[in-house]
Amino acid sequence: MVRGWGVLVNIVFYWMFWDDYIHPSEEAIVSFDLEKEEFGTVLPPEGCFDPHGVWSLVELGGNLCLVDNATRPFTMDVWVMKDYEDQKWVREYSIELNGYSNDTLKFVIPLEFWDGKILMDVKQESLDHYDVENKCIKRMDHLISGEWTWLRLYTDSFFSLGSR
């Protein structure tokens, strides 16, 4: 069963996948390479994956990232795929979310890494940014809710029109 939205990183789509019937404790990330037209799998970070957790896939700075919003209370861990060939993950960011309510935590999704900040969608109601250097979160209150919610789904093109 596919979990959540897919994410496009470079020319590869990724989705979370799990099987409650055959292997209820196993999850994987399914990939589809648009150029090679091949499916594959990527294992999540070793030893830290709770199949009942709150996980999402995002693209930050051109890298595939796995976001964990529930392993530790009021903390969001962002795991970054550093080596695609050997499937090596690094926990790049560990963001304290103490200012959010318990029911909001699972809806905090990183959208973009830019200028030392991680832009985050909060329940599709607000847009916050986390300053990596200063380790603080600020609300971008000058934005109107709902006008930016599909920001992360845009891409120029999947392939060159001249190549087909």
Among 106, 88, 84, residue whose Cα is nearest residue 97: 106
What angle (nearest 5°) sits at the alpha carbon of residue 142, between those of residues 131 and 129?
A: 15
Write the CA distances from 43 to 15, 40, 49, 145, 155, integer angstroms. Answer: 12, 10, 10, 35, 25
pTM over 0.85: no
What is the CB neighbour count within 10 angstroms for residue 34?
13
The CATH number linked to 17 is: 2.40.128
Give the total number of structural domains in the chain.
1
- pLDDT (tens digit, 9 = 90+) per residue, 13-39? 999 876 655 554 556 789 999 999 999
Question: Is 116 a member of any domain?
Answer: yes
95: containing domain: 2-151
Q: What is the mean pLDDT of the chain?
A: 77
Predicted local distance difference test score (pLDDT) of residue 37: 93
Rounded CA gap, 119 and 33, in Å?
27
- pLDDT (tens digit, 9 = 90+) per residue, 107-135? 788 888 888 898 888 877 778 888 999 99
